[in-house]
Amino acid sequence: MTRGLIGRKIGMSHVYSENGDVIPVTVLEVGPCSVSQVKKPEVDGYLSIQLAYGDVKESKLSKPERLHLQKNGIPPKRYLKEFKVEGDAPSVGATINILDVFKELDTVKITGISKGKGYQGVVKKFGHHGGPGAHGSRFHKHPGSSGAGTTPARIFKGTKYPGRMGGEQKTVKNLKILKIVQDQNLLIVSGSVPGNNKSLITIEKI
């Protein structure tokens, strides 16, 4: 069976532990996913399955995407992702639900695209302290020195500079599944998950 599924981030909330502590949680809508392809060691050199998720109009798909799904008897789906398999792989066309993969108290890792922040300075982007806040100071949020002068006469690669922030693929590990709501395909996991509400995520068992 697959180690992961595709889903969407719904939003954040909180629950209370038995001790009365507040636990921040994220609600995810996960699956159901259709098996659109099985990759086999004798053909592809490794074993994995490709899952399809998210209903979409057929006109929104390219011809190769449309024919790939039609060939395997899958209705139009927006997203395709590949996952490793433990044991026997399910057959093409099978539908995989939450409880086929996960159970409560499982530890998982979740991958998504972080929120885009646009062009930001070094104080916001890297946590630089900045200069004095007094009126006489002309140095508040500048990057400061970028390096020495004659030697090395250049700025080293990787120097922290202002630039675009966010909008990158991020993975958060060691999140715990606190509750599964099967009839609504919902997972409630501890902690925060990268991305905006309704953004695509993948969730895998560790």
Rounded CA gap, 111 and 153, in Å? 40
Query: pLDDT tens, position by position, for the chain (206 residues)?
Result: 788 999 999 999 999 988 989 999 999 999 899 999 898 888 888 889 999 998 899 899 999 999 999 888 888 999 999 998 887 878 888 889 998 888 888 899 999 999 999 999 999 999 999 889 899 988 899 988 888 889 899 999 999 999 999 999 999 999 999 999 988 999 999 999 999 999 999 999 98
Task: For 31-91, list the strands marked E by DSSP.
Answer: 33-39, 48-55, 77-84
191 shares its domain with 140: no
pLDDT for the residue numbered 13: 94
**Matching residue, tokens 């982007």:** 125
From the list 200, 179, 181, the residue with the least C-alpha distance to 114 is 200
**Matching residue, tokens 């002068």:** 149
Rounded CA gap, 51 and 115, in Å? 25
149 shares its domain with 101: no
Beta-carbon contacts of residue 22 (< 8 Å; ≥ 6 apart): 14, 15, 16
Instruction: Name the 3-class secondary structure at 45.
Output: coil
99 shares its domain with 126: no
59 shares its domain with 154: no
Structural domains of the chain, count: 2
85 shares its domain with 135: no
Q: What is the CATH number of the domain that holds 110?
A: 2.40.30.10
Instruction: Name the 3-class secondary structure at 186.
Output: strand
pLDDT for the residue numbered 22: 94
Rounded CA gap, 192 and 196, in Å? 11
130 shares its domain with 92: no
